[in-house]
Amino acid sequence: MIFRTASLATLTCLAMTATAYADDSTLQFKFGAFQQNTDVTVASGINDNGEPGTELSLEDLGHDNTDTNPWFSATWQLSENWQLWGNYSSFSSGADTAIDFSFDFGDLDIPQDIDELEGTLMTRSDFDANVYVVNLGYNLYQSPSTEVDLGLGLHVVDMAMTIDARVETEEATREIGTGKSDVSAPLPNVVLFASYDLGSRWTLSSTLGWLSLKYDEYDGSLTAADVEIDYTLTSHIGIGAGYRWVDYSVTQTKPKVTNSFDATFSGPTAYVSVRF
């Protein structure tokens, strides 16, 4: 593994831990919704012909830039200084649209003479992204009002795009072909967490981490930041809202094909938290 660049940035975090309610909690679960604004670009090129593939954005293919999807996180307080934290989020989008430009995407080749086709060139594209995060955190500093934790773990980014092309006329529909691209990349991450006690029930929290590396067939970078405000309703239940921004850049070079995904997901979140 060759680390090209590794850096950790900290976002000053204000967070209320609601110590009167949560000090004895060992497990915390959050179930939420993420209204994601997306900026995704994909490319897939066949290595045999030396072509890198056309960079295509979801907007080029007629996708909506915003969608709301569920997310889930869990925190296990292993000891006074150690905690295990995990998170899952996803994004899926599909679209049918007319295309008026040529492009190469994997095995799909839309020719330059697209204007000479008899009929309308249509594409059906489906994009799916699943992100799994696991971090082991260690408490660096703690006072009655402030807590700082350092996390070391892994982001597993699973992204896939499929594009089907066809020509439609009044009489018939002719299939052109299908292009597929998918990347499943494990990206190590280092993150700093911090918290500040604002009162007996409110929690405002934030996290920022950044890492860039190259190893084996992968070349990728990751930047993630979020801020959350949590209100404790009872000793076991809370509600919260926040804002999340995540940026991934992943290229996977296989013997026959090179796939690349550049994706930014950002937007507000809302959740319910349960503590035990």
CA proximity to 249, closest of 1, 49, 5: 5
Per-residue model confidence (pLDDT) at position 115: 63
Q: Is the pLDDT of residue 195 over 90?
A: no
The percentage of the chain sitting over the pLDDT mark of 90, rounded to a whole number, equals 52
d(CA 127, CA 58): 8
In whole numbers, what is the pLDDT of the chain averaged over residues?
Answer: 85
The arithmetic mean of pLDDT across residues 167-195, rounded, is: 88
pLDDT in tens, 93-129: 999 999 888 889 988 988 766 666 677 889 999 999 9
Per-residue model confidence (pLDDT) at position 157: 87
Q: Is 166:98 a contact under the CB 8 Å cutoff?
A: no
Judging by DSSP bridges, how do beta strands 218-232 and 82-98 pair with one another?
unpaired
Q: Is 70:91 a contact under the CB 8 Å cutoff?
A: no
pTM over 0.85: no
d(CA 19, CA 4): 41
Q: Is the pLDDT of residue 14 over 70?
A: no
Domains of the chain and any CATH numbers: 2-275 (2.40.128.90)
pLDDT in tens, 205-219: 988 888 888 888 889
d(CA 128, CA 92): 4
The percentage of the chain sitting over the pLDDT mark of 70, rounded to a whole number, equals 88
Q: Is the pLDDT of residue 13 over 80?
A: no
Per-residue model confidence (pLDDT) at position 82: 95
pLDDT in tens, 235-271: 899 999 999 999 999 999 988 889 999 999 999 999 9
